[in-house]
Structure 1
Amino acid sequence: MAPTYKDKPSGALISFNGKWISWAHTIVAYTAFISALVIGISLHYHKIVKNEHYGYPDEWFPSVSATIGDRYPERSFFMFFIAITSGPRFALVGLWYLLTAKPGKALPKFIAGVGLFRTLTCGGWTYVTSTDDHDWHDIFMISYLLATIPWKYGCITLSPPNAKAIKYRKYLAGGFFGAIPGMIYFFIQHKVHRIAGAYTTYSFFEWSLILFDVAFDAVTALDFGTFEIVIKDIGGLSQGKNKLPVSTMVLEKEKAKATVGVFDAKFSWGEAFDTAAEVYHGFVFWSMLTSLGVVIWYFPLWYMGISGYEALVMSTISPLLLGIKPVRSLVINNLRACHLLSLSGLLAWLVKDPVYRLFTVGFGVWMACLSWAATLFSANVHEVRLESKILAWTVGLVVSSTAKFAWWTNNPIWPIMHAENGGKNDIGLALAVLATLRFSRKAPLNSGIGKNDKQGGAPSFLAALGIGGLFFGMHSLLSDTSTMILWVWDGYPVRGPLSAPHGWFTVAAMSAGLLTGVLRPKLVSTWSAYGVGCIGAAVLTSYPRWFGYYGALTIAFYLMAVAGPLLIAAAKENPAMTFGLGFFIYNIMVLFHVWVVAYAFVPGGPLVREHTDWVMTSMMVLIGCGVFNLTSFNSLHRNTTNRRRYSVSQHRKYHTFALGLINILFLASAYFRFPTNDYQPYHADSRVLTAGIWTIHFSLDNDMWSSEYRMRDLIKELEVDVIGLLESDLQRIIMGNRDTTQFLAEDLGMYVDYGPGPNKHTWGAALLSKFPIVNSTHHLLPSPVGELAPAIHATLDCYGELVDVFVFHSGQEEDPEDRRLQSEYLAKLMGSSPRPSILLSYLVTQPLKGNYNTYVSDISGMHDVEPSDWDRWCEYILYKNLQRVGYARVSRHTITDTELQLAKFVVPSSESEKAGVARMEADQRLRDRRVSEDQVPEGWRFPALFRGQGVRGHRYHVFDEPWYYKPE
């Protein structure tokens, strides 16, 4: 009979049961927080419930950080008890390791390391408070929360067969993670939307995390009862000596079910490196594939129509060569060489000439598609290896989306990136070579000659259709986490998800779908699952805001879930048909989804004008063909058992861990990208608003480099407070699924309205503002023939006054009736606002002629910022009820094809100032009176940096200097 904690072993000075370590940790930890809360409420209630926006009674319950870190003596009570907690905490982690360590198991060591890391970071955020150092407090806090994910998951995985402990751990972990979305939601309501009372609700979620977290570790009291502190393991569980009875085997199965069974096998560094290499090689494939459209797009931009280089989109159809038996045998027997040759797509950043860079990328994509198709086909006789390669390909897409989020929707190894604009091409290439060598080290299992030569017919054709629809869906919707968020964006106030931080929800849905497809392939291959996917696609296409985004998450889950079964079925058929024809269909879909917005410049374009719904329907029909093939495929393999279970668990374990690590990295990046919303204009003391308009040419400069950094530098140095960006919608395959406004807004410290989303079929109009955007609406102006004309009507809070800003891109010159209708619509829209207003626009008209006189008219009430500027054709700034004080034009250098135009306004504050502005606007002589720079205050002046030759090719031009205006 095992001794109880009261039985003191012979020779021992002290003996007590291990569960008291858990109880000591729980009691002291709760005492630290509760004592601080009680003392804080008693002594400083009104002070600790007050935040940067509201106080009592709007906010009536304190947050954790305000309670434990802001004031004496509650801060001292908390630190005293939390210091005492550290002893039991370290002991708890140590005992958990001793309890769970088994010979040959690496997971207990990893979880013990995570436990130590959590303990140290806990000391970091408790002893370095937000008042002491906000940044380090946040770094420690986010590190602690991120480490909590593997800690709780690992503890459930390693739980001894104790039914009560397993149940409590599952419930408490579920409560902890279930509280996080609510906490994030109400923090955004407080921080971004500044809603009274939101921080109090956030505080309840925050305190619940503390309660759940400590309670989760308190469950160890149910397990440590087998320990007697001398220290001696009286249960034998830590060495795995005792055989488990039948009843506990049931519990082991329940535990394995809770953790998907992926940690049952032994750890191997070799397989871990294999997985890392496979996933990175998959990331390289998606990086090259997603870059192809961007470098192709550069050419029709400059040709303003079909250039001929668009033919390179067909670089993906190289698997058709696998239909030739000698070629197939050659490729399969030389897979390492083929994969290495595909890395030429990463070398393209060294090629300066855009044409040769395009051909280099095209060759890389050609070899990548050929190599991957041959790799899957060569592994089709070995289920485990085939599944592992498919996981590498699909997890690689998740890595690509995560990397793009971390780099503000640019991929750091794209050929449009280099060191000057944030690229990491050299590091990416070096890692790609190492990964490819590791990825291709195993010999192919299928030579490509034999029974597979006879495969084809309906199954191969249906599989090809499914692959075409699948790859189009993955590329167009999932290659960037902000794409579908911008589909459902409809302006301020914010009523839907934001690219940062909500992009993680897309990655989480992708990860969950991918794992579901691997673990339950028969489930996701059904028509019921397909129907759910169709509903998700329809909701995304038809609805804005959060409801539309729920559809986005559904289709993200479904596409990743069905990817594995579709790819497995395709790999077992003729690769020339499944992947060659599949990529050809994918290319047709790529052109289709570009045609719906580029209809004015392409043959047959008007037939598919504005039909994104047709694109989505076609995608789902194609996937449906693949599902039809899957149902037949599954019926033929109904009796197939899960052989090689050990190996399957092994590779699934590592890919699951990789997915978890990717999600953690995404969350860490999202934390650092969280908007601060504390932006300030450049010259608040002078009540000056500097406004600009710029056509940014889809953020590709004249030399085919991504231009965000150069744009950022110019906007910052010109001290622009409000700027309209045109030709800014990049959320399509051909443009790389990018969003320039994310980087500019976050780096410059500005609010952003993306404007009409990608599913509104425009070339884009966006607004960046140092001033809060109170409200914004999006408009599609009449365009019966030509391209759609987008407009934003936003109301800004400028120094306490509401100012309306309109951002507008008119239709092209070839469609005069469109432009006439658009001018009438916009004039009425501007005239409907009684507030001070600014138009930042691209009008396609000459000064003082034609439609100009509709924009500048009694209907609109708007005035031209400088009527005598005869050199304009497209960009115009109009205004009303504001005091215009400056106007300038700044050369673009090689960033884009259009200059940056600027105007400075003073926002009137008093009634007398408003009356003076009204008199000036009524008198053209007063309105157009120009003065020299030395006659205006310092805060009204444009930066002197751009005088003369300027800097980096940017200078004041046309008039060689800014113009200033001042009333008599």
Structure 2
Amino acid sequence: MAPKFKEGDVVFSFSGRWVSYVHTALAYVAFLGALVVGCSLHYQKIVQNQWYGYPQEWFPSVSSAIGDRYPERSVFMVGIALTSGPRFALVALYYLLTARPNSSLPKIVAWVGVFRTFTCGGWSYVTSTDDHMRHDIFMVSYLVATIPWTLGCLAVSPPNPVAIKYRKILAAAFFGTLVPTTYFFLQHKIHRVAGAYTIYAFFEWALVLLDVAFDAVTVYDFSSFEIVVRDVKGLSRGDKKLLKDDIKEKERHQPIIQASTFDGPYSWWNLSIALADIYNGFIFWTIQTSLGVCVWYFPLWHMGLSGYEVSVMATVSPLLLSIPQVRTFAIKYNRWLHYSAVIPGLIAWQITDQVNRLGAVSFAVWQGCMAWTAMWYAERNDSARLQARILAWTAGLVLSSIAKFACYSNNPLWPIMNADNGGWNWTGLLLSIPAVWHATRPVTTSGGDQVVKTGKKGSGLMAGVGIGGLMFAFHSLLSDSSTMIAWTWTGFPVHGPQQVPYGAVTIAAMGLGLLLGTSSPNLLGSWTAYGIGAVGAMFLTYSQDWTGYYGALVFTVYLCGVAPVLIKSAVQHNPAAAFGFGFFIYNLMILFHCWVVAYAFVPYGYLVREHNDWVMICTVLQIGNGVFSALTTNAQSREKTAKSARGRKQTAYYLHILLVLQLLSMSIAYLRFPTNDYKSYHPEEKSLTAGIWTIHFSLDNDMWSSERRMAAAIRELEVDVIGMLESDTQRIIMGNRDTMQYLAEDLGMYVDYGPGPNLHTWGAALLSKFPILNSTHHLLPSPHGELAPAIEATLDVYGTQVDVFVFHSGQEEDVEDRRLQTEYLARIMNATPRPAILLSYLVTQPGQGNYLTHVGQKSGMHDIDHTDWDRWCEYILYKDIKRTGYARVSRGTITDTEIQLGKFVVGQAPDYSDTMIPEDQVAPGLRFPAMFKGEGVRGHFYHVFDEPRYFA
């Protein structure tokens, strides 16, 4: 047998500590050297940012110090190049130190370390000036990989108390520093606070120093190593004496550490099963959440109940499992039951007829609810497999929320999506075929480890009520990461979270809840946890901004944590009672939360008008029913999941995937972070093009999501400021979507949402190329009909403050409501001393009734065109700002309402006459785009007047 070590003369040897010393020293020299050189040569340039310079900002950020200027950029690059050698050596030595037979985690940590090293080189040598996108990709990859590297190093750390202590301290300091770093960056980027970037820079430098210091802790571990260079052929002898003639013989076969926390084989096959299982859960939530938005199409276009709303009852299919023969069939042929749900649900987008498309989705929901219920029930005596199935289902919800976060709140596999509007339908369908096959593999083990005693169990119906409340809370609040943020939004200046990046925080809270629910089910299933969750729900319901959002996070953690407890309890009862009845309760809650806003269009709607708080109270009480039943049922069962090695290993794969999903959501938040560097279309003319559009909840005439077509029309019409009405889609029946996310990011505009989805309106929104300095949300008097929302916003338009009002009046049937709303709006418009524009939906004829209050002395507002008699709903009014043009653009097939546009110029005296001039007398920057003349594009063209009107 070959010797383990080659014998030979020792030419050179040194302690492994020097790898840590050299790595730390070179890394600090690279960063701090660039900082010193940059401050010495280009101080005022590197402290300058997009908003402020010296003296408001007086300390450079990391990116400024190591950026594109010579020679500091070269100092940094040379230092990073020299650091790369010790860096690879450090990763290799740490792997050798922690590697154990049959343990894969050290290998994973080592590969993450190598990956971080390459990505560091990527963002170091490809600057944002060279290639902004690739620089960001390398940077976000490095930051995301830092999390598994840090946690992995802690997990496999040798039993060195000093090293473990410092690793924990530095890791906690690093992750803790991320919070103020993000806060002050947002203060700079969004709020433009002078000096905030300097404070951010200090925290950013702290992150760099802590990152390097974390790796420097290896100095305590590498003292176990001596790195030796041997001359096995004696070529180095010559006239030189050997550095060492002999070395103390060491115990070659004695391991450096005796045990590791994560011993045992890592099965990639089991990991693939977990992946397939979670993807199957994702498909369930994709189909489940698509049903509401398909149903919504019909009452939307019928302007009332259509009869197709009965499709929401498709979830009650588990009631059939009360029949023994059906239950046996569903368990025995569960794989095919899943396929009968997945295939029609994901192929539905190919069906052009809207009724048949809804039918396919309804059938898929029916089959899917029965398939998952039968699967859980079949695994009720095997705690490890049951827990894995529950994790797959709940992690599937997390993945669904991440997919919507990545795709601007639309699930790319929904039947309202296609290749033209951002759909990935074929990809999702093709992946689902092997995923379902892999996830529904036949059981290879016999028996189980969970024995239910014959004593008293909780109530099956109470367990069902708990499942119904849990399902409703998941769907209404957590199926999109922006929903609860929209609940707490109050306008500008920003006092709370925004959808990006804080959607990732909501998703992180979901993951934390799942982790706690898996590791500490007794804690999450207790009345104490229930009370904390209820308090979180109360703050979400009754508070706004950060206070409301903190409550939302608490409630999120609780919901995801209690889910395994409730489901494990429910499967011990008859599935028809626990899940069939539970899904029936869930359906009633869907109708309840629709009734509170649709009260003007449904029977007895006035009984629950504007009582979103009642919906939340019912949800919390229902979950309490489930907890009460679970405390009895689970107390009678003997679970060994937490103690079982098989259970721990099986659960670990799902939790590892869940961690990767969290990293994915963080990456999405980073890549979607708004630049807020927006520019109007014609600044040379000081032009402001304003528009109003009632978008019918961004669902077009053929049941397709219409955001991309709307964005194209707004961009081509060169609209600077636009009011959007019927824009609130943050409800189950509308898919929990947020149209404004895509429009704002794609068009490069600031966005303000009117009164949130918890305030019972159909929605108003404002998109602006100009900074929104301040905004107020109004709920106008509506004693009888639907609530009328309004936004009052002050914009910074070329240095001039201009007020813009976005308003949706009540319906034609509610005469008194509209009169009161008109009086209210006239007062607030008249009160503003600034130039003002109203973008509105008034439900009145020109020159009659409430029109005379909107236009005249009571409001101080003027009609953009008094001669346009062919209007009923949309109006543009203005005061103290020069009007230069007016146009009406056909809607195409996007909605049921046209686009109205007005052109204004800031800084010139207004002229309220109706003198019109030909287009050739208008400056090019003040003309409407010519492409919409004649037949126009995609069904959009100038109509009514057949061309725009221009005013002197």
**TM-score over 0.5 (shorter chain):** yes
| 1:796/1:804 contact within 8 Å kept | yes
What count of residue pairs does the alignment treat as equivalent? 928
Query: 2:408 — aligned with what?
Result: 408
Q: How does 1:274-289 map to 2 (within 5 A)?
A: 274-289=273-288
Q: What letter is aligned with 1:329?
A: T
Equivalent-residue separation in structure 2 for 1:374 and 1:883 (angstroms):
67
Query: 1:808 — aligned with what?
Result: 807
Residue 67 of structure 1, aligned match among 65, 77, 86 = 65
Query: 1:728 — aligned with what?
Result: 727
SS at match of 1:930: coil
How far 1:136 sits from its partner (Å)? 2.8
Equivalent-residue separation in structure 1 for 2:316 and 2:229 (angstroms):
66
Query: 1:11 — aligned with what?
Result: 9
The C-alpha deviation readout for 1:777-797, integer Å capped at 9, x for no partner, is 000000000000000000011
Query: 1:600 — aligned with what?
Result: 600
Q: How does 1:918-929 map to 2 (within 5 A)?
A: 920-921=911-912, 927-929=913-915
Query: 2:767 — aligned with what?
Result: 768
Q: What letter is aligned with 1:897?
A: D
How far 1:52 sits from its partner (Å)? 1.7
| 1:18/1:225 contact within 8 Å kept | yes
Cα distance change on mapping 1:837 and 1:18 into 2, 3 Å? same
Query: 1:5 — aligned with what?
Result: none
Residue 932 of structure 2, aligned match among 917, 935, 946 = 946
Equivalent-residue separation in structure 2 for 1:558 and 1:757 (angstroms):
23
Query: 1:4 — aligned with what?
Result: none
| 2:761/2:789 contact within 8 Å kept | yes
The C-alpha deviation readout for 1:841-887, integer Å capped at 9, x for no partner, is 00001111111001001010101111111111100000111111111
Residue 941 of structure 2, aligned match among 947, 955, 968 = 955
Equivalent-residue separation in structure 1 for 2:925 and 2:45 (angstroms):
38
Matched, 1:77 2:75: yes
Cα distance change on mapping 1:939 and 1:571 into 2, 3 Å? same
| 1:329/1:447 contact within 8 Å kept | no
How far 1:130 sits from its partner (Å)? 3.3
Residue 134 of structure 2, aligned match among 123, 136, 140 = 136
Matched, 1:189 2:187: yes
Equivalent-residue separation in structure 1 for 2:249 and 2:571 (angstroms):
50
| 2:885/2:948 contact within 8 Å kept | yes
Query: 2:145 — aligned with what?
Result: 147
Matched, 1:484 2:496: no
Query: 1:96 — aligned with what?
Result: 94
Equivalent-residue separation in structure 2 for 1:415 and 1:34 (angstroms):
54
Q: What letter is aligned with 1:889?
A: R
The C-alpha deviation readout for 1:403-442, integer Å capped at 9, x for no partner, is 0000000000000000010000000001111110111112
Equivalent-residue separation in structure 1 for 2:292 and 2:216 (angstroms):
54
Matched, 1:426 2:421: no
SS at match of 1:69: coil
Query: 1:820 — aligned with what?
Result: 819
How far 1:227 sits from its partner (Å)? 1.4
How far 1:170 sits from its partner (Å)? 1.2
Q: What letter is aligned with 1:191?
A: K
Q: What letter is aligned with 1:176?
A: F
| 2:463/2:626 contact within 8 Å kept | yes
Residue 157 of structure 1, aligned match among 149, 155, 158 = 155
Q: What letter is aligned with 1:23?
A: Y
Equivalent-residue separation in structure 2 for 1:9 and 1:161 (angstroms):
31
Matched, 1:226 2:224: yes
Q: How does 1:307-386 map to 2 (within 5 A)?
A: 307-343=306-342, 344-386=344-386
Equivalent-residue separation in structure 2 for 1:235 and 1:819 (angstroms):
95
The C-alpha deviation readout for 1:576-612, integer Å capped at 9, x for no partner, is 1100000000000111011000001111110000001
Cα distance change on mapping 1:740 and 1:456 into 2, 3 Å? farther
SS at match of 1:470: helix
The C-alpha deviation readout for 1:675-718, integer Å capped at 9, x for no partner, is 11111111111111111100000000000000001101111111
Q: Percent identity?
A: 60
The C-alpha deviation readout for 1:751-791, integer Å capped at 9, x for no partner, is 00011100110000000011110100000000000000000
| 1:390/1:564 contact within 8 Å kept | yes
Cα distance change on mapping 1:548 and 1:650 into 2, 3 Å? same
| 1:9/1:15 contact within 8 Å kept | no
| 1:456/1:574 contact within 8 Å kept | no
Matched, 1:516 2:502: no
TM-score, normalisation: structure 1:
0.93
Query: 1:849 — aligned with what?
Result: 848
Query: 1:646 — aligned with what?
Result: 645
Equivalent-residue separation in structure 1 for 2:112 and 2:512 (angstroms):
23
Cα distance change on mapping 1:551 and 1:776 into 2, 3 Å? same
Matched, 1:894 2:880: no
The C-alpha deviation readout for 1:256-276, integer Å capped at 9, x for no partner, is 5xxxxxx44421111011000
Q: How does 1:568-587 map to 2 (within 5 A)?
A: 568-587=568-587
| 2:458/2:630 contact within 8 Å kept | no
Equivalent-residue separation in structure 2 for 1:390 and 1:410 (angstroms):
25
Q: How does 1:243-322 map to 2 (within 5 A)?
A: 244=258, 256=261, 263-322=262-321
| 2:387/2:564 contact within 8 Å kept | yes
How far 1:35 sits from its partner (Å)? 2.1
How far 1:196 sits from its partner (Å)? 0.6
| 1:121/1:143 contact within 8 Å kept | yes
Cα distance change on mapping 1:71 and 1:239 into 2, 3 Å? farther
Equivalent-residue separation in structure 2 for 1:329 and 1:453 (angstroms):
23
Equivalent-residue separation in structure 2 for 1:425 and 1:234 (angstroms):
66
TM-score, normalisation: structure 2:
0.95
Point out the more displaced range, 323-332 or 647-656. Answer: 647-656
| Aligned-residue CA RMSD (Å) | 2.1
How far 1:79 sits from its partner (Å)? 2.3
Q: What letter is aligned with 2:205?
A: W
Matched, 1:39 2:37: yes
How far 1:655 sits from its partner (Å)? 1.0
Q: What letter is aligned with 2:157?
A: S
The C-alpha deviation readout for 1:488-510, integer Å capped at 9, x for no partner, is 00000011000001111101111
Equivalent-residue separation in structure 1 for 2:741 and 2:123 (angstroms):
29
Q: What letter is aligned with 1:759?
A: N
Equivalent-residue separation in structure 1 for 2:251 and 2:787 (angstroms):
70
Q: What letter is aligned with 2:345?
A: G
How far 1:178 sits from its partner (Å)? 1.2
Matched, 1:459 2:445: no
The C-alpha deviation readout for 1:94-114, integer Å capped at 9, x for no partner, is 111212222222222222211
Equivalent-residue separation in structure 2 for 1:128 and 1:277 (angstroms):
37
Equivalent-residue separation in structure 2 for 1:455 and 1:758 (angstroms):
46
Query: 1:259 — aligned with what?
Result: none
Q: How does 1:683-702 map to 2 (within 5 A)?
A: 683-702=682-701
SS at match of 2:217: helix
| 1:456/1:577 contact within 8 Å kept | no
| 2:163/2:217 contact within 8 Å kept | yes
Query: 2:862 — aligned with what?
Result: 863
How far 1:650 sits from its partner (Å)? 1.5
| 2:383/2:641 contact within 8 Å kept | no
SS at match of 2:554: helix
Equivalent-residue separation in structure 1 for 2:430 and 2:132 (angstroms):
37
Equivalent-residue separation in structure 1 for 2:455 and 2:292 (angstroms):
33
Cα distance change on mapping 1:295 and 1:584 into 2, 3 Å? same
Query: 2:906 — aligned with what?
Result: 907
Structure 1 residues not aligned, in runs of 5+: 1-7, 257-262, 922-926
Query: 1:933 — aligned with what?
Result: 919
How far 1:123 sits from its partner (Å)? 1.4
Point out the more displaced range, 221-230 or 876-885. Answer: 221-230
| 2:349/2:416 contact within 8 Å kept | yes
Query: 1:198 — aligned with what?
Result: 196
Cα distance change on mapping 1:93 and 1:458 into 2, 3 Å? closer
Residue 176 of structure 1, aligned match among 153, 174, 177 = 174
Equivalent-residue separation in structure 1 for 2:42 and 2:905 (angstroms):
43
The C-alpha deviation readout for 1:41-79, integer Å capped at 9, x for no partner, is 333322222212112221121111111224333333222
Equivalent-residue separation in structure 2 for 1:238 and 1:748 (angstroms):
66
| 1:690/1:722 contact within 8 Å kept | yes
